[in-house]
Amino acid sequence: MKTGTENVVRLTTERLQLHLRHTFTISRGSEDIAETVLLRLAAGGIDALGESAPVSRYDESPDLVASQLEKIALTEPALWRFDEALALLDDSMGARCALDLALHDLAGKRLGIPVYQLFGLDPSKALSTSFTIGIADIPTTLAKIEEARDFPILKVKVGTPQTIETLEAIRSTYRGIIRVDANEGWSAGDAVRMLHEMERFDIEFCEQPIEAGHPDQLRYVKERSKIPIVVDEDSVTSADLPALFGCVHGINIKLAKCGGLREALRMIHTARAMHLKIMVGCMIESSVLATAAAHITPLCDYADLDGPLLITDDPFSGVRYEGARLQLPDAPGLGVRPLGPTAVGGR
């Protein structure tokens, strides 16, 4: 399996235009189409795939990510030396994410094992995902809840003045687990008041109540709220975690945000050492990214990997959804396949 040749590896990128089933609104804004960057890495007759969902919140764009990926030259030994290869892309988390996924896909395909096995994980311990309900007026929200009624876990985006009425309406028809995500929408004082009002709706946890970068305010909220606090925008990479010690109950890890599986494992290990709960989340993304994230759910507590369910034109198949339960593919590498010869690119 070892290789010593110095062949240059071919990297090509494509844009994926992913169309949302419903306009997706969170406290920061709305979107109907999401654009991600697909990476194809060809080495020694094996094609590997990676993907990045660049996030404007972190000053990244598809153009930036694609240009970063197109300018690097990788040679064979670096394909097994992950940190060395990823260090070529220090400027862009999104580009690192796409390359990290492709390197894991390639390694698994070369070794003939799925990524979960490369990590020594038990695929039967994969989690169930929540299904995300974006911000909308109450009748629209209730129509979405009706569509999602068989999902055992909902993640409800909040942050408007109608938050309490909306949750009241949802709870009147939905008995499953509800998580809320404020996406930095509140002040610390608002967060304490809102979370107190929400207690009667039996909320599992609240994601990122306040603007990132204020651990003392998170601690203030945590000490005054019965609803556990999970951060997302505050937990970009493992280096962010020590400052959160004692301030939160858990973190949300996203591959597109942290730079791929390798950094995600670092975050998982650091969070576990800090006795934090771990959620693995997603952006609007195809099955390439969501499947990579699904492979590490056996190490986590909560999954929010509904990206492929939110779009109408996923060009790939990978992780399958048995209801909400993630089924990891057994094929080597990420286990992702294109859904047909015309499925990728140009849409």
Q: What is the DSSP string of 221-275?
A: HHHH-SS-EEESTT-SSGGGSGGGTTT-SEEEEEHHHHTSHHHHHHHHHHHHHTT
29 beta partners: 26
Regarding 80 and contact with its own copies (CB under 8 A), the answer is yes
**Whole-angstrom distance, CA of residue 296 vs CA of residue 294:** 5
Regarding 113 and contact with its own copies (CB under 8 A), the answer is yes
Shortest reach from residue 289's CB to its own copies, in Å? 20
Among 112, 189, 213, 345, binds its own copies (CB under 8 A): 112
Q: Which is nearer to its own copies, 103 or 182 (by Cβ)?
A: 103
Shortest reach from residue 301's CB to its own copies, in Å? 14
**Whole-angstrom distance, CA of residue 156 vs CA of residue 206:** 10
**Type of residue found at 242:** P
C-beta neighbour count of 339 within 10 angstroms: 15
Q: How many residues bind its own copies (CB under 8 A)?
A: 35
Q: What is the CA radius of gyration of the chain?
A: 20
Stretch that binds its own copies, among 127-135, 138-146, 193-201, 234-242 (CB under 8 A): 234-242
Q: Are 38 and 14 in contact (CB under 8 A)?
A: yes
Among 239, 325, 342, 345, binds its own copies (CB under 8 A): 239
**Type of residue found at 34:** A
Question: By C-alpha distance, which of 322, 330, 324, 334 is closest to 293?
Answer: 334
C-beta neighbour count of 251 within 10 angstroms: 28
Shortest reach from residue 236's CB to its own copies, in Å? 12
Greatest alpha-carbon pair distance for the chain in Å reads 64
Among 32, 59, 63, 84, binds its own copies (CB under 8 A): 84
Shortest reach from residue 155's CB to its own copies, in Å? 26
Shortest reach from residue 12's CB to its own copies, in Å? 23
Q: Which is nearer to its own copies, 19 or 272 (by Cβ)?
A: 272
Burial of 312 (0-12, 13-18, 19+ CB in 10 A): exposed
Quote helix, strand, coil % in the chain, to nearest 5: 40, 25, 35
Shortest reach from residue 243's CB to its own copies, in Å? 9
Shortest reach from residue 73's CB to its own copies, in Å? 17
Q: For residues 242-301, which are near its own copies according to CB under 8 A?
A: 242, 245, 262, 265-267, 269-270, 272-275
Shortest reach from residue 111's CB to its own copies, in Å? 5
Regarding 241 and contact with its own copies (CB under 8 A), the answer is yes
Stretch that binds its own copies, among 63-71, 111-119, 178-186, 279-287 (CB under 8 A): 111-119
**Type of residue found at 235:** S
Regarding 1 and contact with its own copies (CB under 8 A), the answer is yes
Name the residues that contact its own copies, by CB under 8 A: 1-2, 77, 80-84, 103, 107, 111-114, 117-118, 120-122, 238-239, 241-242, 245, 262, 265-267, 269-270, 272-275, 330
